[in-house]
Structure 1
Amino acid sequence: MDYVAAIDIGSTNLKCQIFSSDFRVIGSSIQNVNILRPFQGWEEINPNELQNGVKQVIQNALKDADLMSKNIKCIGLSTQRNTFITWNKTTGEHYHNFITWGDSRSSVIVQQLNQSITFKIVKFISKILYLIFAKKEFKVAKSFTFSSIQILPKLLWLLQNNRKFRQDMRNDDVQFGTLDTWILYQASNRKLHVTDVSCASATGLFNLFTMSWMPNYIFQYFGIPYSILPSICSSNISTCLIENSVTCKISNITIACSLADQSASLYGTGSFSKYTAKVTMGTGMFLDINCGSAPEVCLGYFPLVGWTFNNDICFSLEAVDYNSGSLIQLGKSIVNFNNPKELNDILKQGNEFSTNNLLFVLPDTEFSKSIRRDFSFIGVTSSTTKTDMAISILESFAFRIKKILDNLHNEMPQMVLNTLWVDGGVSRNDYICQTIADVTSTTVVRMKNSNRIEVSCLGAAFMAGLSSGVWTNKNELKYFRNRTDHKFIPNNKDNFTNEYKYIRWLYNQKCLY
């Protein structure tokens, strides 16, 4: 039997899972990602510590599976996006730790960029051109804003504050890479300087319509040489390795594919058809929709590349809500539970809930470390219980998803979702899955967790297995998912009640925030 490994480097955890050819997890390992916070707003990861952690979780997973490296055919790689590092091209020494996507040290620069006259002129011209030509490229440009999550403001911060980086940049002796770039660079013995297209598309430096980096003159304007950028390659890394005659191995196992974590999750849910979607509910809430082989643009969504695999290309739209992690922490502080799955038992123990009139409301916010976490409970009475509050928090997840989908349907009425796949720690709660199904009138599908499968790992492993011949086509994953998934069917009897409560929630949110 063939075995495939998958490594998922997330925001909080580093995971490795080993899959058999019949999709069983036979070995698994997980450890925390150590986030360094030397100053307020800074978030870093030590690259040497992370590299050692990757090797450690592989060895632990092999031990758990009672296998050796030679038994594993290949590795699929899934990585968090917009976490990056720079290093010296000659020596390979890095100038700083990984700067994570959650780092906000460049917030002042972001503000300056958004308020600059040049940027306002560009947006104005793009708006006029969009009115004339109605091209998707101009629609993206007219609605674009800089944010702390993007990489460009942090590179500008490095130019201002890291003298060695600035000097070597002038001497054209610097290389830049996202997290996947660094892993592949090290795994190829410093011969490969590439990034997968799904990771590149999330950086804010990528042109979705040319499938390449932004034009050189844009980088020159900001004083960044084009030469620091890695080459963009297919998610199927095997083709890149063959073209460059390079081996790329971790613990003597070849890396066959590389995907951004949300793309790996979309792939792992089997969302291969146009207008299929998944929502990951963990540290953040990520709603991703497969848009097929042509890019779509919708205000409020990030247009991305899901993956490219041989002749298969998937563009996607993504909506992000960074409040979900803090909401679960709030729920934990109100009701004593360790994880969302435990709430299933707590809710079953309650006999009567007074949640018909209780709402949990918080503002829609951009991700920022400086934003105050405001929230309100609407309809609290003397008979309101802690369980009622927990339920209202869970319902707010569903309402926020419905709001995102309603905005999408208003702009793209041709897109109708019949099924919504869910994954992530928050999705282990049955109540929230059923509520999402009820308020959106959409069948919600969640993988049964009896086999310890992490969906991002499954997506990375499956693509790697397709690349190396372990599996032959995508229907094999669909067949497996159809046999194992848990479906939540919308309850149409409560449709009026759900819609009424959603309208009240929406009204209160607009009034308060």
Structure 2
Amino acid sequence: MEKRYVLALDQGTTSSRAIVFDRRGRIRGSAQHPFRQVYPQPGWVEHDPREIASSQLGVMVEAMVSSGVSPDEIDSIGITNQRETTVVWNKKTGEPLCNAIVWQCRRTAAMIDELCGHPDVAAMVRAKTGLVPDAYFSASKMRWILDNVEGARELADAGELAFGTVDSWLVWCLTAGAVHATDVTNASRTMLFDIHEGRWDAELLELFGVPASTLPDVRPSSADYGVTAYPGLPAGIPIRGVAGDQQAALFGQCCFSAGRAKNTYGTGCFLLMHTGERAVESAHGLVTTIAASAPGAQGIEYALEGSVFVAGALIQWLRDELDIIGSAAESEALAASVQDTAGVYVVPAFTGLGAPYWDAQARGAIFGLTRGATRAHVVRAALESLAFQVADVARTMEQDAGIVIDQLNVDGGASANDLLMQMQSDILNAQINRPVVIESTALGAAFLAGLNTGFWESLQEIRAMREPDEHFLPAMDEATREERMAGWHDAVRRVLTD
């Protein structure tokens, strides 16, 4: 039967999705299911690996059935996943030893301070991994499991334990234990991987006490990850693409070369700029990470990554806590009902401020209120704060990389807000490109798989088949832009504690 589709498995922090894409990159069918969030203690976050697997394998079948697609028509599978979340299982039985420790979990913060507190150690970690030592990444989560789960250290020393991020757990499950592998993008988020040499690093493994025998084989993002062999699932479908969610989105947005950038507007924002084969070291606390590459790439490709902590979460706060909007969609119409913010600025530092400020103790505030300020002005100022924050990260990236961002590709839920996209274009002074298919993360995983099999022949074919983007062009004069940014930076200074 003719291979007409690629199946993308998108395993996220709160739900698992599967999307069937056709040769034109259009969605033929999809399915999504949430799964349980486990909070054993304040600051601790866990997932049951069995629920991750069962929800993901379930939607895989559901997406095919609901769209009327036969397994024989599926060319290949691409996987994208929540990054840094750590799973450990028994190689012999395939059973998880404990719940997965989620990327959000802060239980190992003190361990990071203890192991990486010396400036020389922190510098070594940063130089090799491109990461700032933090509990966010996988290494300390692995160490915690070895130190605290009964029998874990003994099994690891006996070579019977497997560690992995969520992608490698899914690959293991899908191939019925035949393949224990991860891709370079996920490996680069563990804090155990030398992103310059492209391998697990012995010095880092010793620092965190993680045996090399527990770790997956590291492969390119577009490569052979075995075939499906899980009982009850369609057998023999090749798994040919794997990438962490933000790198998959960068690829799905066709940011294949240095200077191309994308921003995902989710609960927070993730801004990534491709830097080619140059690993740019940030002077502003941004993360240097590995980008997903197409088959045939000559070397490792890299990206700079910066995060805005609060984006869509700010709109939720306006709705749920302040109760000044009834729905997220209402924010656009209400903000558009006034010409400007009447001097109001919202600084959404609910959990501190990230790049380029890095003040964990900063807290949110609203400035510039007068008797004439209305809820419409506050909502407009909230939307504008998202554009300001993204612009701050983008300007920092430009300084680090020496590359001007004149176009920014966007995706994520809030990218559907036309007013916000125009604000972003005005504040950043750049063209904003919004694709018709905004499922960039899943599409990137599909592209990586289909390029490996020849379902799609080249990056040029992928670029050519994209639906025409919607474009937003700057319409703000330079004087107004500078005035607005100056007001924003003054508001930020008022909440900084340093």
- TM-score, normalisation: structure 1: 0.88
**In structure 2, which of residues 291, 306, 318 is the aligned counterpart of residue 306 of structure 1?**
291
Q: For 1:344 and 1:405, how far apart are their aligned partners in 2?
A: 24
1:112 Cα deviation from its structure 2 partner: 2.3
- Name the aligned partner's letter for residue 210 of structure 2: I
Change (3 A) 1:279 1:248: farther
User: What secondary structure, in the 3-state scheme, does the structure 2 residue paired with 1:287 have?
Assistant: strand
Q: What is the Cα-based RMSD across aligned positions, in Å?
A: 2.4
Give the number of equivalent residue pairs. 481
**In structure 2, which of residues 270, 273, 282 is the aligned counterpart of residue 289 of structure 1?**
273
Deviations 1:113-162 (A, max 9, x none): 343xxx334457x6xxxxxxxxxxx9736996421201122222223321
1:210 Cα deviation from its structure 2 partner: 0.2
1:426 is aligned to: 414
User: What secondary structure, in the 3-state scheme, does the structure 2 residue paired with 1:39 have?
Assistant: coil
Change (3 A) 1:139 1:111: closer
Contact kept in structure 1, 2:130 and 2:289, CA below 8 Å: no
1:505 is aligned to: 488
**In structure 2, which of residues 344, 355, 375 is the aligned counterpart of residue 386 of structure 1?**
375
Q: For 2:98 and 2:13, how far apart are their aligned partners in 1?
A: 18
Where does 1:186-201 land on structure 2 (aligned, <5 Å)? 186-201=173-188
- Name the aligned partner's letter for residue 183 of structure 1: L
Contact kept in structure 2, 1:282 and 1:426, CA below 8 Å: yes
1:462 Cα deviation from its structure 2 partner: 1.7
**In structure 1, which of residues 10, 20, 23 is the aligned counterpart of residue 22 of structure 2?**
20
1:90 Cα deviation from its structure 2 partner: 2.5
User: What secondary structure, in the 3-state scheme, does the structure 1 residue paired with 2:293 have?
Assistant: strand
Q: For 2:151 and 2:312, how far apart are their aligned partners in 1?
A: 37
Q: For 2:68 and 2:207, how far apart are their aligned partners in 1?
A: 54
**In structure 1, which of residues 451, 454, 471 is the aligned counterpart of residue 439 of structure 2?**
454
Contact kept in structure 1, 2:38 and 2:45, CA below 8 Å: yes
Change (3 A) 1:11 1:479: same
2:108 is aligned to: 106
Deviations 1:84-120 (A, max 9, x none): 11112222221111111011111221232343xxx33
1:416 equivalent in alignment to 2:413: no
1:465 equivalent in alignment to 2:439: no
**In structure 1, which of residues 147, 170, 184 is the aligned counterpart of residue 134 of structure 2?**
147
Structure with more of its chain in helix, by fraction: 1
1:316 is aligned to: 303
1:12 Cα deviation from its structure 2 partner: 2.4
1:496 equivalent in alignment to 2:479: yes
User: What secondary structure, in the 3-state scheme, does the structure 2 residue paired with 1:102 have?
Assistant: coil
**In structure 2, which of residues 462, 465, 473 is the aligned counterpart of residue 477 of structure 1?**
462
Contact kept in structure 1, 2:223 and 2:295, CA below 8 Å: no
Q: For 1:464 and 1:143, how far apart are their aligned partners in 2?
A: 27
Change (3 A) 1:345 1:425: same
1:346 is aligned to: 334
- Name the aligned partner's letter for residue 215 of structure 2: L
Where does 1:181-260 land on structure 2 (aligned, <5 Å)? 181-214=168-201, 216-238=202-224, 241=226, 251-252=234-235, 253-260=237-244
1:70 Cα deviation from its structure 2 partner: 1.7
Q: For 1:255 and 1:323, how far apart are their aligned partners in 2?
A: 34
1:277 is aligned to: 261
> Which consecutive residues of structure 1, in runs of 5 or more, have no partner in the other structure?
127-137
Deviations 1:211-259 (A, max 9, x none): 1111x24323433222111111111232x54xxxx66676433222111
1:135 is aligned to: none
Q: For 1:373 and 1:301, how far apart are their aligned partners in 2?
A: 18
Contact kept in structure 2, 1:302 and 1:317, CA below 8 Å: yes
1:266 equivalent in alignment to 2:265: no
**In structure 2, which of residues 431, 442, 450 is the aligned counterpart of residue 443 of structure 1?**
431
2:80 is aligned to: 78
1:287 Cα deviation from its structure 2 partner: 0.5
> Which consecutive residues of structure 2, in runs of 5 or more, have no partner in the other structure?
none
User: What secondary structure, in the 3-state scheme, does the structure 2 residue paired with 1:237 have?
Assistant: coil
1:410 Cα deviation from its structure 2 partner: 2.9
Contact kept in structure 2, 1:55 and 1:251, CA below 8 Å: no
Contact kept in structure 2, 1:9 and 1:79, CA below 8 Å: yes
2:313 is aligned to: 326
1:502 Cα deviation from its structure 2 partner: 0.9
- Name the aligned partner's letter for residue 489 of structure 2: L
